[in-house]
Amino acid sequence: MIHQYKNNGFNIVLDVNSGAIHVVDDVVYDSIALYEDHSKEEIIDELSGKYSVEEIGEALEEIRQLAEDKVLFTEDDYRDYIIDFKKRPTVVKALCLHIAHDCNLACKYCFAEEGEYHGRRALMSYEVGKAALDFLIANSGSRRNLEVDFFGGEPTLNFQVVKDLVAYGREQEKIHDKNFRFTLTTNGVLLDDDIMEFANKEMANVVLSIDGRKEINDMMRPFRGGKGSYDLIVPKFQKLAESRNQMNYYVRGTFTRNNLDFSKDVLHLADLGFKQISVEPVVAQETDSYALREEDLPQLFEEYDNLAKEMVRRKKEGNDFNFFHFMIDLEGGPCVAKRLSGCGSGTEYLAVTPWGDFYPCHQFVGNEDFLMGNVFEGIKNTDIRDEFKSCNVYAKEKCRDCFAKFYCSGGCAANSYNFHGDIHNAYDVGCALQKKRIECAIMIKAAEALSEAE
């Protein structure tokens, strides 16, 4: 299976099953499109108006060579492998701890409904958090690296518990030969020197929520009284980013129908000095006024294309930044097993509510149909776990023939559930955007590689 496309002046051919990427000239590009279901004579006949017979002959020979080298037209031999892989016993390696179901902002698109997750306001106690870490260690088998995200609502509203849990984790990791990687997701309102110092010492990553331009951020991320949060958080985020040497953090925004020109928000964040940026499409119900619609896709594609072009330009100038959704690791990325087996929600990854209930991930918290158990008794509803365990690229009709399957791993189960009532489906607008982002990410790599070669 191949995927070929043109972007920013490059002709790109992705051999999906091997992961090989070829930048080709026009004659090869056109020949590849015909190669599988046309004879050599037919291809020459069809293309001879555009190219010389000699050129077409050269192109076909190079294509034949690539196929022989197993970097073009390779077969998908992974299906049985992944099904067997997914049958392995489940271990848990990551928890999302909902430290506070409360928030000091009132963001309009919040899936947690101002932190309450369709429930009551609550803070996680140290005892619940400790039991969660004990559960994680006990259920992690031989996996050494364990991830714990301090999430909310807003976790800084309950920061002493965060500190105490980190101290407990550091003590326990020595005893059990584990390595905790803690992360913190915050809106920045309460961020102060004390929290920054602690985060820099203990957090492998911090996620700083901001949407971009002041008017965009303040429209969707106000305080309860309506006042915007931009002016308060920007200097604090800049300080924290610098204190982390511009690494191991993300400023993370959400774009909605209110800012379809979101590339301006990405560039605004870059112009504020941030080097690690993620601005992502909102996940909303179709009925929400700010939800992205299918009709918005052409504009959004153009935004991604323009952003990718601008990033190539800035990189040449030595003024580059990372955009999370364009980051792609071609030489050292994950193995096939990882790529095809899904995100791990409900199996390797669980969300824990302030009172200790387990859900498959933070997006399902509050939906009682997905309540899996709790930190004191463990996983009680194994049917839910098994349903998530069966979720992989080959279990999803829409993913099987999609070129993006090795890069998105079948997409987000929660998105699929929100739009189709089934975790084994896929959210179509999300898929379209994901595919576009992969194309842009590969184009950037191609531009970098060819620029280095020059």
Partner 1 sequence: MKHVTTLNTRRLQNTVKKGGCGECQTSCQSACKTSCTVGNQTCEQTK
Residue 44 vs 336, nearer CB to partner 1: 336
**CA atoms of 184 and 205, how far apart (whole Å):** 7
| Cβ 368 to partner 1 shortest distance, Å | 21
| Cβ 225 to partner 1 shortest distance, Å | 27
* Pair 163, 198: CB distance under 8 Å: yes
Residue 176 vs 224, nearer CB to partner 1: 176
Residue 237 vs 250, nearer CB to partner 1: 250
**CA atoms of 235 and 250, how far apart (whole Å):** 15
| Cβ 38 to partner 1 shortest distance, Å | 18
Q: What is the enclosing helix (H) or strand (E) of 208? A: strand 203-209
The DSSP 8-state label assigned to residue 222 in this structure reads: B
Pairing of strands 2-7, 10-15: antiparallel
| Cβ 57 to partner 1 shortest distance, Å | 11
Residue 161 vs 408, nearer CB to partner 1: 408
Among the listed residues 127, 130, 143, 132, the one whose alpha carbon sits nearest the alpha carbon of residue 176 = 143
Residue 89 vs 376, nearer CB to partner 1: 89
Contacts of 191 (CB under 8 A, 6+ apart): 156, 233, 236, 237, 240
**CA atoms of 349 and 94, how far apart (whole Å):** 5
Q: Is the peptide bond before 378 cis (omega within 30 degrees of 0)?
A: no
| Cβ 344 to partner 1 shortest distance, Å | 5
**69 token code pair:** 């080298």
| Cβ 152 to partner 1 shortest distance, Å | 11
Residue 77 vs 225, nearer CB to partner 1: 77
User: From the CB of residue 23, how many other CB atoms can be counted at a distance below 10 Å?
Assistant: 18
Residue 140 vs 158, nearer CB to partner 1: 140
User: From the CB of residue 272, how many other CB atoms can be counted at a distance below 10 Å?
Assistant: 16
**CA atoms of 323 and 163, how far apart (whole Å):** 30
| Cβ 266 to partner 1 shortest distance, Å | 13
